[in-house]
Amino acid sequence: MVSETEATPVLKDFFARPAEEQQDFLQQTWCNQCMEMDLGMKNPQEYEVGERTWIEGDCVKCGAKIITEIVVEDDEE
């Protein structure tokens, strides 16, 4: 048994991703303030904790914090 303590998100280097991925993540957004998708994100920061990875940034339109979760697909053979 492993007792898990509260994990601290680790800041990753978003800009280490391929330019195409960066573009996708910055464009494919959802803003809860604007209630609109794909408005865009600025000031992206990537975090990772455990198996979860997400990108936090600001909505281009209203500046509210938006989060894009990155879903890692397991390759099943």
Please state the closest distance from residue 44 (CB atom) to Zn ion, in A. 15
The residue from 25, 41, 57, 59 that contacts Zn ion (CB under 5 A) is 59
Please give the residues from 16 up to 55 whose contact with Zn ion meets the rule CB under 5 A: 31, 33-34
**Cβ closest to Zn ion, residue 11 vs residue 45:** 45
**Cβ closest to Zn ion, residue 64 vs residue 67:** 64
CA distance 42 to 60: 6
